[in-house]
Structures are given as C-alpha cells and as structure tokens.
Amino acid sequence: ALPLLLLPLLLPLSCDACPSGCHCYSLTVECGSLGLREIPQRVPDTTQTVFLQDNAIVHIRRLDLSGLDRLLYLYLQNNSISALEPGAFLAQGPLIELALNGNLIHLLTPDTFTGLVHLRILYLAANQITRLHDHTFTGLQSLQELHLQENSIEVLGDQALAGLSSLALLDLSRNQLHTLGPASLQPLVSLQVLRVTENPWRCDCALQWLRSWIDAEGQRFLSWSERRLLCAEPPRLAYLSLLEVAANSLVCIPPVLHLEPSHLTVQLGESLRVACQASGYPRPLVTWRKISMGRALLGPRGLLGGGSFDPDTGSGMLYLSNVTVAHAGHYVCEALNPGGVAHMTFHLAINMTSSTALWPRLHSASSSLYLGEVVGVSQEPLYEVGSMDFSALGPATQTVIAVSISLLVLIVLLLLLMIYSRHRNSSKEERILYVNNYSDGPTTFSQLEEYRDGAGHERYILNCSRPGSALPTQAGLPANQQGLLFLGMCINMEPH
C-alpha cells in the first residue's frame, strides 16, 4: 500500500482548477496535442511542470506565464511559435528546463531569456535561426546544455556565447556554418562536449586555428567522428576532413576592389548608383560608409536616401535617391575577408547651377560643390543629416521659394521706378515758365524775371513793362529749356 502522504500527488485536481481539456495531476498540467493557439489560462499557480507540446501556439507574451512563478519545467516543442516577446520568461526565475525545439523561431535577442538565472537546459533545435548575435544568452550563467542543432545558423558572433560560463554541452551540428572564430568558444570555460558536424565548412585560412585546436585541446571535446569535419569548399578540398588538409593548403586571397566611377557630379534631386566590385577568396563582405573628418557618419545599411550591399556576390551597390547638399563628400567602399581588407574612396559633388539663388556656394569659381577638396573648408557636410535646412526641402518647395523671391525683387524694382518717376515729374513742375499770352505787343524773352511764390517754388514771370526782343519760338529755345510750357498772365513788376 502507498503511504498516505503520496496519495495527493497522484489524485487529479478539481475541474475548477484545471484548464479546459487539460489533465492536471498535483503539480503537473498536461495540455499536449489539443490544437491550442495560445497558452491556456487558469493554470494553478502552484504548478511546477507544464506540457504544451504538439499544439499550434504562435507566440509567447509576457502575461501568458506571469502567474506561474513556481514553474520548473516548461515544454513547448513542436508548436508554431515564431515570436518570443522580450521578458516573456521574466517571472520564471526558478525554471530549470525549457523546450522550444521544433518551432518557427528565427530571431533571438539578449532580452529573450531575461530572468532565467537558474535555467540548466535549453532546447532550440529545429527552428529557423540564421544568426546568433553577440550577448544573446547573457544572464544564463547556470545553463549547462544548449541545443541549437538543425537550424540555419550561418554566422556565430564572437560574443554570441558570452556569459555561458557553466555550459558543458554545445550542439551546433546540422547548421549552415562556413567558419568559426576562435573568440566564439573562449567564454565556454566549462565546455566538455562540442558537436559541429554536418556543416558546410569552408576550409581556408580562417580555420587554421580550428585544425590546430582539434589536434590539441579538441581531443577532449570531440568524439572521433566529430573530429572529421568535412570540407565543403573550395572544390579542390571538398569531402576531405579538415585534419587531412595540409596547413599550407588553408589559404585566403586578400580582397581586390574595382570602383567605377571614383568621382561623380550630380544635379540636386537626382539619384545615383555606384558599383563597388570585389574579388578575393573567400568572397569579401562589401560595405559602404560616409566619411567626415576621419570618422564614419553612416554604416552600410544607414546611407542617406537608402543603401544596400550584397555580401553573397562579393559586390556592393551604393544607392542614393533625391540627392541633396548633405550627400556631398567622401564615401568609402570596404571589402573584408579573412585574408585582409581593402578600401577605395568615392567623391560625390553636387551641381548647383540651377539653384544658385537658394544654395550657399563655397567658392565663386565653380558651380559644383566638392566637400573636402576646397582649400580651407572642412570635410564635414555643409548640412548635417536630419537638420532643419534647405537640404530637407523637396524640389516643389524649392521652386515655390524661388518664385517668391523673384516676385519680391520685381515688386521692389517697380516701387523704385515709381519713386523715380514722381521725382522727375516734380522737378519738371518747378521749371514751368509762366508767360502772358494776352499782352498787347510781342512778348520778349528778356521780360522773364525770377520770382519765388509763397510755397517756396521758383517761378519765372513775364514783366510786360520791360522792353525786349520778341520771345523766340520753342524751336529756338536753348536746349535745356525746350519742351517747357509757357502759361500765365503778364504782371507789372515795377517797384512799389
């Protein structure tokens, strides 16, 4: 007969305390193969083991497990999980074993497993992970087994396994690893078993350290079959074991760059593409960056107007759309492989001929802007990215501003013309000669005397009492008096 103390552990929990369709036994909840699309609610908070395998769960949110702070074992294998919300396991501090294998997970971040300080076994096999970024597993200082086989991992960052000081088993078999850097394994001070078979290894100079390591320390970590890492490339070494390849056959060819053109001048608002082709073995990774005063302003995926590069083909394309003054300057194309690094510089100038009224010119001798090549001018862009300046204006806005300035200039000219015209007319009025057309005898020019009226205007009055020669016709007037109008009455200018 069983002791009475064990009976409660085998008796099912009441239906009110168990999720619908699940089976609950003491501290265990079994909900496998029920077609569930999310983690069920009403799981008793005293539960220590939850089986949720073979369902259709698509994501894990922070609130899904928030009440299960006593959980020790969680099995979620063979679902459709593609998203793990950062901090989803924050409340599961005591968790010892977590199974996420057989899902659709493609991205892991340092926040994914935050809080799992006591986790010992982590199953991530048979997912869609392509890259392990640096510090992905930081905080899992108690982890002893990490299963990553049957993924599509191509790159393992140098610090991807940082913090795994207790890790004893690492399984990276059946992935897409071409190479492995020595820094990747340095944090694994407790490693005992390493599995890296069935990867398409590229046997070049980057694996010389691994060959030496297998001959020395690797004997303790790899079984005999594990030591026979088969080369997938280059073709001359295909299907050979890494240990069978002579050390002097593990070679790399440094990159060689071809950049065409190396100088280019474009109009404001245009787009451009510049190809940077690289050769070498293994195929170099090609990136672009913008340089100002010796420092990089933009990375390969952060170029102004968009940027792209293709590391698989060994060539990179610089693409800039809607070029502004801020794009002018120096760009560097860089090619990198284990054999070395190569750089080439591209100079971009902006032609401002059509917009000289709107854009500042660095010198008057040229209508093109070459930042970094003008004497006394910094290599900094004329306008920094993201600032509130003319470079942020679109072509339509620039056109409106140009038209507005032109209209303003035209209005000023018209005002000046009107002022000048009034001044000219006023001057003419002050030079009018007042002549009596009703005098008895012929009017003589000598009868004109200067006279100033009460308003201060100068007048010329005909003195009828003064004899003189006859007034000449208008055609006979001096040149400076022709065209004047002779009006008025003859007055007596005799002294009183």
Residues in the chain predicted with pLDDT less than 70, given as ranges, are 1-16, 293-315, 354-397, 425-496
Residue 313, both tokens: 């083909």
At 293 the pLDDT is 58
- Per-residue model confidence (pLDDT) at position 215: 85
Query: What is d(CA 448, CA 451) in angstroms, rounded to the nearest whole number?
Result: 9
pLDDT in tens, 90-134: 999 999 999 999 999 999 999 999 999 999 999 999 999 999 989
Structure tokens at 330: 């120096």
Query: What was the pLDDT predicted at 189?
Result: 94
DSSP letters for 23-53: EEETTEEE-TTS--SS--S---TT--EEE--
- CATH T-level fold of 263-390: Immunoglobulin-like (2.60.40)
* Total-model pTM: 0.63
Position 52 scores a pLDDT of: 97
Whether the CB-CB separation of 288 and 307 falls below 8 Å is answered with yes
Q: Determine the pLDDT at residue 113.
A: 94
Q: What is the structure's pLDDT at 471?
A: 44
pLDDT, residue 426, reads 59
Residues 35-84: tens digit of each pLDDT = 999 999 889 999 999 999 999 999 999 899 988 999 999 999 999 999 99
pLDDT, residue 396, reads: 66
- Reduce the DSSP state of residue 415 to 3 states and report it: helix
Using DSSP, state whether 432 is helix, strand or coil: coil
Q: Are 263 and 349 in contact (CB under 8 A)?
A: yes
| Residues 6+ positions from 72 with CB-CB distance below 8 Å | 48, 49, 94, 95, 96, 97
Residues contacting residue 425 through CB under 8 Å, at least 6 positions apart:
none
